[in-house]
Amino acid sequence: MSYILAILPSLLEGAQLTLKIFLWTIVGSIPLGLIVGLGLTSRFVPLKAILKFYVWLMRGTPLLLQLIFVFYGLPLIGHGAFTLERYDAALFAFILNYTAYFAEIFRGGLQSIDRGQYESAKVLRLSYWQTIRKVITPQVLKIVLPSIGNEVINLVKDSSLVYVIGLGDLLRAGNVATSRDVTLVPLILVGVIYLLLTAVLTFILRKLEQHYSYWK
Amino acid sequence: MMLELKNISKQYNKRVILDKINMTVEDGEIMCIVGSSGAGKTTLLRCISGLEKIDGGQILVDEKEFDPYSNQSNDSVIGVVFQEYQLFPHLKVLDNITLAPMMVLKKKEVAAKKEALELLEGLSLADKADLYPYQLSGGQKQRVAIARAMAMKPQILCYDEPTSALDPGLRDTVKNIILGLKKSEMTQIVVTHDMEFAQQIADRILKVEPIRS
């Protein structure tokens, strides 16, 4: 017990970084995902082609590779003009990656909305953005929420990949303690903390789904 | 508001749907567009309401040329009651009606709500204001759709197959609503395949035939 208390502060410090990356990635990539998703459903072919290529690239290569590329690779081009701090590099890569996944989810949601909803908004003289904001987005959110939830849970665990660019997250803190003290306890604790985090998120997501169940 | 169509043509992928359609609706009249399915009735209504661009011909409103497809003015709204109503499922009945007046006409919430409630009252729906569309019957949804269109003070009100999704008993209700609006001098265009219904309400009937190609 006293050992657990001794290593807990370092684990919690790691968990803090995990949470920070998690939260900022969500804040950045969900709105961006919606915007890219709108682009993917647009009739403007060049825009659609560029966005499809972006999604293909982000989903088609490992997130780990993208992290390494952003942190170690980008500084090699343009004489270091694209050098990012470890933390910024991690956030950049995560937002870029997750936006692509969210965009695909939003695209699916957007395409499942009846064209008549756009048309009835149009004859009521709502502008495109008013229609998106007031009519389409609330309906899309309800549809995509379960899929978004899946990605959100994934993100908590994916955030452990930042160890590769030398950031001290939760998993790394546990790893360090395990190899230093030759015991499994830290890794078990790490597992428990991840489980707690995902349990809280699952709860929040369920509440959100309930919130949207007032209409059908 | 008087509406005239002159030689309206519309094609989809080179298939001619409408070929030189002419019609005139005088102010406050009810025009019924009838014809079998696939004849292009709905397409014609979509051209009039600005959901489709016409490929040829002219639309005149009060003898001035008018392009519903590009028209943005809030003084010349053409309201539409869709066949599937297309209410916004996430908004209460009252909010369905006030959304456009508030967003587009920039009406204050209190004023918009007051007008919406008056409209609902007139359609015997006042007690449904706080319900969501999924809680309404087909006939009630349709009346909400009419109230929503009316809230934008349209010059012309269009209906796409207003009787097709309703129980026969509700046909008279729709008839009375349409005839009631006629008394307030609303110009109305009704697309229907129901000839009997058309004859009961119409001042003029336009028959659209499928085009053989």
What kind of fold does domain B1-76+161-213 have according to CATH?
A: Rossmann fold (3.40.50)
Query: In this structure, are residues A94 and A25 in contact, taking their beta carbons and an 8 Å threshold?
Result: yes
B90 contacts chain A (CB < 8 A)? yes
Do residue A216 and residue B132 have CB atoms under 8 angstroms apart?
yes
Find the helix packing angle between B138-150 and B171-183, rounded to 10°.
20
Q: From CA B37, how far away is CA B209, in angstroms rounded?
A: 9
- ipTM, two decimals, is 0.92
Q: From CA B31, how far away is CA B4, in angstroms rounded?
A: 11
Terminal Cα-to-Cα distance of chain A (whole angstroms): 50
State residue B40's pLDDT score.
87
Task: Please say if the pLDDT value at position B154 is more than 60.
Answer: yes
Confidence of residue B199 (pLDDT cuts 50, 70, 90): very high
Nearest-CA neighbor of A54 among A29, A74, A21?
A29
Across chain B, what does the average pLDDT equal? 90
State residue A77's pLDDT score.
84
Nearest-CA neighbor of A85 among A95, A65, A98, A70?
A70
Phi (first) and psi of residue B167, to 5 degrees: -65, 145
Strand duo B204-207 + B30-34: pairing: parallel
State residue B134's pLDDT score.
95
Q: Does residue B213 or residue B124 have the better pLDDT?
A: B124
Its pTM stands at: 0.86
Do residue B99 and residue A122 have CB atoms under 8 angstroms apart?
no
Task: Please say if the pLDDT value at position B94 is more than 70.
Answer: yes
Q: What is the DSSP string of B27-78?
A: TT-EEEEE--TTSSHHHHHHHHTTSS--SEEEEEETTEE--TTT---TTS-E
Domains assigned to chain A: 2-214 (1.10.3720.10)
Q: What is the DSSP string of A169-215?
A: -HHHHHHHHHHHHT-SHHHHHHHHHHHHHHHHHHHHHHHHHHHGGG-
Domain spans of chain B, in order of start: 1-76+161-213, 85-154
Name the region of B207 (left: φ>0; alpha: ψ -120 to 50; beta: rest).
beta
Task: Please say if the pLDDT value at position B97 is more than 60.
Answer: yes
Query: In this structure, are residues B67 and B9 in contact, taking their beta carbons and an 8 Å threshold?
Result: no
Shortest CB distance from A125 goes to which of B74, B84, B89? B74
Write the pLDDT tens digit of every residue in B172-198: 899 999 999 999 889 999 999 889 999
Do residue A215 and residue B132 have CB atoms under 8 angstroms apart?
yes
Q: From CA B141, how far away is CA B91, in angstroms rounded?
A: 13
Task: Please say if the pLDDT value at position B213 is more than 70.
Answer: no
Three-state SS annotation for A152-165: HHHHHHHHHHHHHH
Percentage of residues of chain B with pLDDT beyond 70: 99
Q: Mean pLDDT by 10-residue block, N- to C-terminus, for chain A (216 residues)?
A: 84 90 96 96 93 96 94 84 87 96 96 95 94 95 94 93 88 89 90 94 93 84
Shortest CB distance from B86 goes to which of A117, A125, A216? A117
B111 contacts chain A (CB < 8 A)? no
State residue B212's pLDDT score.
67
Write the pLDDT tens digit of every residue in B34-68: 988 878 889 999 999 999 999 988 898 888 888 88
